[in-house]
Amino acid sequence: MKKRNLLFIAPLFFGYYKEIIAELEKKNYKVDYVCDSPSNSNVFKAINRISKNLTKIKNKKYYENSILPNIINKKYDIVFVIVGMTFSIPIEMFEELRKRNNSAKFIMYQWDGEKNIEYVKKYHKYFDRI
């Protein structure tokens, strides 16, 4: 059976992403992992939680220089995103991913309630399932 391509975007939170990747690979997915934030430092995470605008430039550079070059020419069957407090991926990335992967299923799982991560609502329109 042919492996399906899956883009997995998630936080580094306690290394859970590694366990999730291992399970997805057992289910015959080829997984490309992207960390949801350009920095795992406590200072960056605190600033990012206070205001996404304060980290906007660093987030955009992370997307343009570290993420986009690695995924731009790939086709995915599934884009699976786990959203938590550290989520920093620019909305432009999802616009671009949708254009390039129009037949892919986009799935979002939220670790936190929307009262804690209200900014995530603007991303909902890019996902087939939340």
The predicted pLDDT at position 108 comes to 94
pLDDT tens for each residue of 31-54: 999 988 888 787 887 887 777 778
pLDDT tens for each residue of 59-107: 888 888 888 888 888 999 999 999 877 778 888 888 989 999 999 999 9
Q: Which of 90, 130, 96, 98 is nearest to 114 (CA)?
A: 130
Q: How far lies 121's CA from each of 11, 23, 46, 69, 115, in Å? A: 18, 28, 20, 27, 10
Rounded mean pLDDT of the chain? 88
Distance separating alpha carbons of residues 3 and 17, to the nearest angstrom: 20
Q: Which of 50, 10, 56 is nearest to 34 (CA)?
A: 10
pLDDT tens for each residue of 103-127: 999 999 987 777 777 888 889 999 9
N- to C-terminal Cα separation, the chain? 28
The predicted pLDDT at position 48 comes to 76
Percent of the chain with pLDDT over 90: 41
> Rounded to two decimals, what is the model's pTM?
0.88
